[in-house]
Amino acid sequence: EIRNNIKDWKIPDFETDLDGFNLRLREALRKSGKIMLNYGYINKAFAFRLVITNGDMNMVDIDTFFQHLTDEIGNLEKENLLAELN
C-alpha cells in the first residue's frame, strides 16, 4: 500500500527550489485532471492542503491519491533528467 511508503519519500536530487518543484507538481496534477490540490504557505514555505469533501471516500481512494502523486513526481524527475541531458 502506497500510504505505508510515504516515509520513504525523498527530496528530488535535481531540484533545489522545493517550493518551485511543488508548484510544478501541483500544476501537473491539476492539468492531468487526476488530482486538484490546494496549497498555502506555512512560515513562508509552500505547503499542500488536502481537503476531502466527499464523505464516501475510503482507503482505496486515499491510496489512489498517493499513487497519482508519486507517479507525477516520477514524471517530473524524468523530465528534469532529460532536460539535463539536452
Give the containing element (helix H, strand E) for 16. Answer: none
Q: DSSP string covering 38-74, please? A: EEEEETTEEEEE-----TT--HHHHHHHHHHHHHHHH
- Determine the average pLDDT of the residues in 71-85: 78
Residue 13's Cβ-count burial label (10 Å; 0-12, 13-18, 19+) is exposed
| pLDDT score recorded for residue 1 | 47
Q: Show Cβ contacts of residue 20 under 8 Å, excluding neighbours closer than 6 positions.
A: none
pLDDT, tens only, 6-51 = 555 555 555 567 888 888 899 999 999 988 888 988 888 888 888 8
Name which residue leads in pLDDT, 85 or 72: 72
Name which residue leads in pLDDT, 18 or 65: 65
How far, in Å, CA of 4 to CA of 18, rounded? Answer: 23
| pLDDT score recorded for residue 85 | 66
